[in-house]
Amino acid sequence: MMERAMKRLPLHLLSLLLLISLLTAQPAALAAPADSAAHQPACNGSLYRVKQGDSWSRLAQSTGVSVATLKAANPAAAQHPQGWLIVGQHLCMPAGVANPAAAAQPPQPPGQWIITVRRGDSWAVLAARYRVSVAALQAANPQAVRAGEVLRVGDQIRVPLTPELTEHIACPADLTVLGPAAAQVLSEFIGSPEALRSYLQRCGAFSANWGAVRAVDLLGDETPEVVVVAAEPQEAAGGPLGKLLILRSAPLGWEVAYETGVASDIVLLEAADVNEDGRADVVWTDTTCGANACFTTAHIVSNIDSGFVNWIEDGTTMASANVSLQDVTPEGSGEELVLTGGVIGTVQAGPQRAMTTTWASLAGAPYTLQTIRRAPSWCLYHTIEDANRTLDEKRYEDAATAYRAAADDPRLVACWQRPNEVDELRAFALYRLAVASAYNDDQADAEQAIADLDSRYPDDPLRDLAHIWWIVFRATGDRSAACATAQTFAERHPETWERLADFGYANPQLTAETICPAE
């Protein structure tokens, strides 16, 4: 009966019944997203929504905790292969860590600075000295309010840090006098970082979203130094122009122990013994933006003989970089400096891929570049470039393997805009395979590579160049003589090298002089 009734139902009703049965029969499949969300670790603090411009290092500065702590609380977000944060994703701020969203809210009640009552002090004297009302001063110190409003020598009094507290100290006219002005504030307010922070906020050189004032013992004398990142109020490309300062206490007051030049968008990453050599280090970045990309440079200075000197070799600038300190290699002392990025956001830059560079301090020595790891790619050009770098490093056997893959692997594809890109690059790969094999004393493989070039690309001018080079090299074994012959041919036939001379301004450009590596 039921079967006959179903046959009499209109087609659209049958479709509706089928849809309802599918929806009710597979609740497990429909619930899969909720089930997968259950595998995410619970947040024991507060959630923060990532906004434009956020990075791990910037959030670490604004919250006052390390990048490693933030990543440990957000393992899923930390797995991004380029180390980036995605606008709109939610991060867990661990319990006790200030949420950056809260920091961006309207200013909270002022902080406090503790002073010690001296002979002759009274509520009125202190109120006049620190430019607050007697009522505000007493409200902040109920424990010291006694009958007759008597203060005792040695009482600890909390002074509310209001903008008026430092208004007798002029704001710096520009960044060249920022250091002396900061030293004056610390001298007058007994090294109080809170007073300096209040002063910089009043002068527009510090905000809840930018800048840093951190007290830390860098010289090992049990007296904290103060590390400052402050800025000029106006904006610069990529962020505000600013300086990083290190100030220390001296017999006649506070003084500047170290200061950077003027730079854009400075972010303090760490002030501690980063490489565990018993000496304190200060690590920061600055970022400058152009029309198509922002370039970040990492810096490290270390305390050497009570002064601060550069403790990292040149070359730490990267496009679109995320910078962090991580313990990633056993060879390095303490933490390594890790930069991830390297992609310029414009077509004219050419085919690109993200990279990660790792800088390590070996046995406490200055940081040097240890590894460059590039993201995997099926772009034929990238395989050629990897092989070229390997050949330049004189790893001839590895270079030959890479060139053979570039010549033969069908999965590798064109990724630029030359009309005959794949054939041009594969012909180049066979020529360079012959060079790498010859330099590796493998004559058979060198001859096979040239034979493959003859059979596959008989009309490519690189075929003639390869033959001329091989005749000289086989006869003399002289790399320089063979390459000189190849270079002369390339100068007369630019089509041999122009194929790799225009892969975007961010990539190496081949020339007639570099078509044959003699060394």
Question: Which one of 101, 121, 140 terminates a domain?
Answer: 101
The CATH number of the domain holding residue 70 is 3.10.350.10
Q: Is residue 489 domain-shared with residue 432, that is, in the same domain?
A: yes
Q: In this structure, is residue 25 part of a structural domain? A: no
**Mean pLDDT (the chain, rounded):** 85
Q: Is residue 394 domain-shared with residue 474, that is, in the same domain?
A: yes
Q: In this structure, is residue 33 part of a structural domain? A: no
Q: In this structure, is residue 318 part of a structural domain? A: yes
Question: Which one of 319, 343, 376 terminates a domain?
Answer: 376
Q: In this structure, is residue 2 part of a structural domain? A: no
Q: Is residue 363 domain-shared with residue 400, that is, in the same domain?
A: no
Q: Domain total for the chain?
A: 5
Q: Is residue 95 domain-shared with residue 155, that is, in the same domain?
A: no
Residues making up the chain, counted from first to last? 519
Q: Is residue 333 domain-shared with residue 395, that is, in the same domain?
A: no
What would the mean pLDDT of 437-458 be, rounded to a whole number? 97
Q: Among 94, 66, 65, 82, which Cα is nearest to 327's?
A: 66
Amino acid at 107: P
What pLDDT is attached to residue 245? 96
Could you list the residue range(s) of the whole structural domain that residue 449 is in? 380-500
Q: In this structure, is residue 6 part of a structural domain? A: no
What pLDDT is attached to residue 377? 95
Residue 427's H or E segment, with its range, is helix 421-439
User: 145 or 166, which is more confident?
Assistant: 145
Q: Is residue 371 domain-shared with residue 483, that is, in the same domain?
A: no
Answer yes or no: is pLDDT of 91 > 70. Answer: yes
Chain segment 107-122, per-residue pLDDT in tens:
444 567 788 899 999 9
How far is the CA of 405 from the CAs of 206, 211, 398, 436, 456, in angstroms?
A: 54, 50, 11, 13, 15
Q: Is residue 251 domain-shared with residue 296, that is, in the same domain?
A: no
- The Cα–Cα gap between 513 and 504 comes to 19
Q: Is residue 287 domain-shared with residue 304, that is, in the same domain?
A: yes
Q: Is residue 388 domain-shared with residue 286, that is, in the same domain?
A: no
Answer yes or no: is pLDDT of 504 > 90. Answer: yes
What pLDDT is attached to residue 382? 97
Answer yes or no: is pLDDT of 83 > 80. Answer: no
> Do 430 and 456 contact (CB within 8 A), yes or no?
yes
Q: Residue 372: pLDDT band by 50, 70, 90 thresholds?
A: very high
Read off φ and ψ for residue 334, nearest 5 degrees: 65, -135
Q: In this structure, is residue 449 part of a structural domain? A: yes
> Token pair for residue 210?
């930018």
Q: Is residue 154 domain-shared with residue 187, that is, in the same domain?
A: no
Q: In this structure, is residue 513 part of a structural domain? A: no
Q: In this structure, is residue 51 part of a structural domain? A: yes
Q: Is residue 386 domain-shared with residue 490, that is, in the same domain?
A: yes
Q: Among 295, 338, 298, 297, which Cα is nearest to 320's?
A: 295
- The Cα–Cα gap between 206 and 331 comes to 39
Residue 236's H or E segment, with its range, is strand 225-236
> Do 505 and 348 contact (CB within 8 A), yes or no?
yes
Q: Token match 């063979």: residue? A: 482
Calculate the dihedral angle through the C-alpha atoms of 209, 336, 402, 419, rounding to the nearest 10 degrees. 10
Question: Which one of 213, 237, 265 terminates a domain?
Answer: 265
Amino acid at 239: G
- The Cα–Cα gap between 95 and 148 comes to 44
Q: Is residue 285 domain-shared with residue 367, that is, in the same domain?
A: yes
> Do 285 and 323 contact (CB within 8 A), yes or no?
yes
Residue 59's H or E segment, with its range, is helix 56-63
**pTM, to two decimals:** 0.73
What would the mean pLDDT of 196-219 be, rounded to a whole number? 87
